[in-house]
Structure 1
Amino acid sequence: MSTETPPLDIDLFRSFDFLRHWSSEQLRRLAARVRIEQAPSGRLLVSRGGSHDFGLFLLDGWLRLKHPGGQVREVRSIDPEAREALTRGLPEACDVVSVTPVRFFRLTNALMEEIARMEPSVDRDAELQPDIDVEQVAGEIGQRMRQALDEDRLELPSLPEVAIRVTEALDDDVSDASDIAQIVQVDPAITAKLIKAANSALYGRLTPVETCTAAVVRLGSGITQKLVISFAVRELFRSDSGALQQQMWSLWKHSTRIAALCHLLARLDGRFDPEQAMLAGLLHDVGVIAVVQYLDTLKEAVSPAHAVSRVVDRLRAEMSAEILQRWRFAEPFVTAAREAEAWMRNPEDGPDLCDLVVVAQLHERMGGETAAPMPVLGDTPAFGRLRLGDLTMEGRLAINDEMASQLAQTESLLNI
């Protein structure tokens, strides 16, 4: 079991019911005292009868809770039940085992009580600057960023070299698996990830592959290209700035979740390349990287926190489309980025990759809180153009255990 070093984004805590109304200051203090843990599948995390004083909270993956008498309960991170602590007892009433690789954190009762007593549940950010015009701040910064882009003064993230070279090799119609493997092997980290991917539950067979060339042969050139791009862009979601890394971490978590949902939706619909859909989901918000990095370069602080969010909301689609155009991605990817939150878009032709991204985002947002009004998923043209079956009573996609397992496998693949 390992502990991740990136600091926690306080918005992560707000997804849990009992922390939803804590102030920003309380959540920041909590984030400074808590670390995310991760464990592989099949790991015993909590033993029945054990004495402990903490609650276990699931972020990603799938857990199995084994009760006395043979009763088994399974909880996935997408389930409403995961919004509460999954262990509470002294002694504990069940064994908790990871079904898939998982990410989670633990909170002790003592820490919770200490911070809960700290102050009333009010948002200190809003309290300190009651007269700030958030829309005016967001508009001014957005205008300055667009001007910097027009004058070629804005530094945008570049597609990593290994991804460019693999794409060029596939475009020449001459390179074989050995040639592609030679290019990939320049980057040892991506080489290791590609071999792990070829042996993963999504693509693996009985006989494991041990070389990069064998991995390329098993995956095929198309899947190899899309996985190499996916693994390479992961490095763009990193920063040496502690404050910036919090936002990058949250963005990566969101992007991999939408990517996994797009991959699943493509397989359910049957008319899309699942890996292409996964890549569209992964890159639909890539422009947020540029926006956040630009905000970090400003000499004046941008506050309160929700002013930063409004700047990001205003520019995410425009910057994402701009970056993908500069990376020479095909128009369907650019459209998926530009119109990812155009909930009622209804182009004459269809379906397209953007439909998958729209449906994936609406499904995910319906599972949590959002300040903006959301359309009913079943009423959107995007859902009508896709072949996805029925919705739940709550208006979300009906995801069974097999689908949930596929989602977990895809998210795990993107995080190896």
Structure 2
Amino acid sequence: MAKKTPNRKYPIPDQNAAPPESVTDAILIIASALTAADGDIQAVLEALKQVAAKDHHHQISDIERLQGILDEKMPSSKAFKLDDLTDVDGADAAKIGYTLVKTETGWVGLSASAALGNHEHPISAIQGLARELAARADLVDGKVPPTQLPSLTTTATVGAALAGANGKGTPDDGDRFAGILAGASTVFHTTWGNIKAALSVIFLKKSGDALTGRLTFGKGSLSPNGDVQAARDDGNTGVIFLNAAGNRYLFYNGSIYELPSAGLSVGGDVTAAGILRAGNGTAYLNTDGNVYGTRWSSWGTPWAFDAINAQLEKRGLDYANHAIGQANAYTNSYTDARRGLATDIHLTGGGVWYNTWGRGAIIFGAGDNVFHNVNTGGSWQRVTTTQGIYIPPGSAIHCSNPSQFHGIAVAT
């Protein structure tokens, strides 16, 4: 078999051919190989004509799918945090000194000790540990012997020192007091004068001090101008106690003011915008000045003005009717006497009685000892006038001195 090149398999002369190849055969083989190589080179040249030049450019749109791929990429100028990565969580919240540790769920921020977890080291693996341990005290039953403890200041020693200190009932302004700063363990000292100055802003002295702001207690308050607001928790009622026993007080029940179990004395005028009541409200003085009370009801109405007015009208009418009746009787008796219808009354002797019937009688010229009884069963009335007086029907006339009596009795 003829010998060939390893890649394109061009025939080449074989020096070890048996029988040996002639020079002519070798030339022919080389010629054949050159012919094949010429064809391959020509094919390469034709192919190179289809390849772009080394230095050339393309529009992004000319490259298939390139724009879509670029749209999915992050701009090179974009800044991002570790937590923006899909497999990192808690990096922003990690404290200073923490490190990122890869876990089964992704990268998280942990402290070095948490990242290492529970682990052990031999003493020899920790630099200088054996030397430091050798300089420490030997423990006895897990404790340091007292003989190896340095002199320490503890709460017990401080307490003992304070307990043994000299007592003082009234500190001077320059005396010092110790304390600890808020939120820290730093010790400080201040003077009694500074403490008093600070307390004077918060508390009032028992005497000689003045209230500069409003003092509140529940819903009530005490103002610097002297106003007292005694409101209960409901905010709508209030009471001010006026004695130590607590049974004398001024109470506002939400609608009216009450002063239970005590009277009220006023040294000046009393003005009421509404009704002034008495008897637990059963009697009152109205805003128009009229008085209301059941005492007036016997006169027809509980209102005083109306009751008095009705009574005045009734008595005036009764008096007018009585006067009219007297006038009529006098006139009738006088007229009847002129007509001869009356009887002359002439009483003789002591203790003489004369009864009036019919319309009555007219008496005149009577002395001091003449009496008449108006309406049988009534009280006696002395008649002393020298003028005529009317005696109603059904009356009796008693004369103790007939010589001093003259009268006319109307005929029945």
Q: Could you say which structure has the larger radius of gyration?
A: 2
Return the TM-score normalized by structure 1. 0.14
Greater helix share, structure number: 1
Q: Which has the higher strand share?
A: 2
TM-score by length of 2: 0.14
